[in-house]
């Protein structure tokens, strides 16, 4: 059995309850939610509604109709950006963002949106005062912040930036791809207007799940137009949420899995999840520190990092390290730019990138030891 240390890409394995609920939904509740009044369609609708309530409850969202289900975090971010921004608008973001943010913003820039990028330091931290200063330099339609870097694991200071944006009337989109299911996020307490997250990483749902939270009062132009199961007589998209932003058949089994993933997290508790990931990260940091010619990127402190760590072995391409870990030791990590090229420019690892290791609650400390032993062997053979 492989040792899976690529949970920043997607979490694996999932809790047993997630597998069971997906299987049960596919076998027993096979109707199309919101399309038809027969019992199997109603059962499917109930599953989707339960998932919406679960997401709302987990993120402090009082009105679950403001939770829009998407296929992944990328789709949620695209809906937020293209649904809100118009030519002439100004956006403030950072140079640590994933391509899920950087590429749509680049496309919007070509349509006349101004994009201002606040630079991070060499450990991936964006100073909140720099971010807020950039937001107040000119009227800003949107601020976009990745909560935790998927390259360095750096946790940005959302508790400072969020309330500042809220009190200064700057709409804030948070990319919680690496933090949802690891750090507590209460959208109201943190002043978040738009929250985009995958269901398939820290929330332990299956691939093909994700969501966007849209603060009440904030209206987005739909990215997708089509059937919603209601108001079928009209050529126009419904005004009501979440239907306005959810066209087409939703991923009922995936959402059942997402509900089960969130229930599993709630049972364990985020404190225990964070403590285990920090323990794994501490051990990785102390183990890697004993290997000569090995450079670690990011905060170097589990308290300031999510469950992600990047490093390089001097003299070896990161892809060669990942290849050897996979082929000789059955250990799965990711190498390269991790879809965030500018973050590598910020930390000085462009263009080769880094080796990224991302443990989670499912990893044992024995697996971490096996990983460290494998790295020591690879380092010795240089
Ligand atoms: C910071 C960050 N944002 C966005 C994404 C995109 O997530 P998804 O693959 O669910 O679209 C990722 C995925 O790795 C990520 O790490």
DSSP 124-180: SPPPHHHHHHHHHSS--SEEEEESB-TTT-BBP-HHHHHHHHHHTT--EEEE-TTTB
Q: List strands edge to edge, sheet with 194-198.
A: 67-70, 210-214, 194-198, 172-175, 142-146, 90-94, 114-118
Closest by CA to 71, choosing from 332, 236, 245, 219, is 245
Distance 92 CA to ligand 1 centre (A): 19
Q: How far apart are CA 358 and CA 9, in angstroms?
A: 8
Query: Catalytic positions, please?
Result: 339
Residues of the chain with CATH 3.40.640.10: 16-268
* Average confidence (pLDDT) over 29-35: 90
User: Which residues sit with their C-beta closer than 6 Å to ligand 1?
Assistant: 9, 72-74, 98, 100, 146, 150, 175, 177-178, 198, 210
Q: Which token pair is 313? A: 């072995």
CA-proximal residue: ligand 1, atom 14 (nearest): 9
Q: Which residues 6+ apart lie within 8 Å of 191 measured at CB?
A: 162, 163, 164, 165, 166, 167, 172
Percent of the chain with pLDDT over 90: 97
Model confidence pLDDT, tens digit, residues 204-217:
999 999 999 999 99
Full-model pTM: 0.98
Distance 176 CA to ligand 1 centre (A): 8
pLDDT recorded at residue 381: 86
Residues of the chain with CATH 3.90.1150.10: 3-12+269-380
Does residue 35 have a pLDDT over 90?
no
Burial of 78 (0-12, 13-18, 19+ CB in 10 A): buried
Q: Distance of alpha carbon 138 from its chain centroid, rounded?
A: 29
**Closest ligand 1 atom number to CA of residue 10:** 14
CATH code reported for the domain at 16-268: 3.40.640.10
Q: How far apart are CA 107 and CA 198, in angstroms?
A: 22
Strand pairing class (3-4; 90-94): unpaired
Distance 73 CA to ligand 1 centre (A): 6
Does residue 382 have a pLDDT over 90?
no
Count how many residues are written for the chain.
382
Q: Distance of CA 328 to CAs 50, 321, 357, 375, Å?
A: 44, 10, 17, 11
Distance 221 CA to ligand 1 centre (A): 22
Does residue 318 have a pLDDT over 90?
yes
* Average confidence (pLDDT) over 249-267: 98
* Average confidence (pLDDT) over 264-274: 98
pLDDT recorded at residue 155: 98
Domain 3-12+269-380 falls in which CATH fold? 3.90.1150
**Closest ligand 1 atom number to CA of residue 339:** 14
Q: Distance of alpha carbon 346 from its chain centroid, rounded?
A: 20
Strand partners, 67: 213
């Amino acid at each position: 059995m492989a040792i899976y240390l690529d949970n920043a890409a997607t979490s694996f394995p999932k809790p047993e309850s997630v597998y069971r609920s997906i299987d049960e939904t596919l076998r027993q509740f096979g109707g199309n939610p919101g399309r038809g009044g027969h019992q199997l369609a109603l059962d499917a609708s109930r599953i989707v509604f339960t998932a919406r309530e679960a997401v709302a409850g987990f993120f402090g969202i009082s009105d679950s109709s403001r939770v829009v289900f998407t296929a992944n975090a990328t789709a949620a971010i695209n809906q937020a950006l293209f649904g809100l921004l118009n030519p002439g608008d100004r956006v403030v973001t950072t140079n640590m963002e994933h391509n899920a943010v950087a590429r749509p913003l680049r496309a919007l820039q070509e349509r006349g949106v101004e994009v201002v990028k606040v630079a991070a330091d060499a450990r991936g931290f964006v100073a909140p005062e720099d971010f807020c200063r950039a937001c107040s330099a000119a009227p800003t339609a949107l601020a976009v912040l990745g909560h935790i870097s998927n390259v360095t694991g750096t946790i940005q200071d959302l508790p400072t930036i969020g309330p500042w944006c809220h009190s200064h009337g700057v709409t804030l989109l948070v990319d919680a791809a690496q933090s949802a299911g690891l750090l507590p996020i209460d959208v109201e307490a943190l002043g978040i207007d738009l929250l985009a997250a995958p269901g398939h990483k820290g929330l332990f749902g299956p691939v093909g799940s994700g969501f966007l939270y849209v603060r009440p009062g904030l209206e987005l132009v739909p990215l997708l137009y089509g059937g919603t199961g209601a108001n079928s007589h009209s050529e126009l998209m419904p005004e009501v949420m979440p239907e306005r932003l959810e066209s087409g058949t939703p991923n009922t089994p995936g959402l059942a899995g997402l509900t089960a993933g969130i229930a599993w997290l709630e049972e364990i508790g985020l404190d225990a999840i964070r403590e285990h990931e920090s323990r794994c990260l501490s051990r990785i940091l102390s183990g890697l520190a004993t290997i000569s010619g090995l450079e670690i990127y990011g905060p170097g402190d589990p308290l300031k990092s999510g469950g992600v760590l990047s490093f390089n072995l001097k003299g070896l391409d990161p892809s060669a390290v990942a290849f050897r870990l996979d082929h000789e030791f059955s250990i799965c990590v990711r190498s390269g730019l991790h879809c965030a090229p500018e973050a590598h420019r910020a930390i000085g690892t462009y263009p080769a990138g880094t080796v990224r290791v991302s443990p989670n609650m499912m990893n044992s400390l024995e697996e971490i030891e096996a990983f460290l032993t494998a790295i020591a062997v690879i380092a010795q053979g240089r």
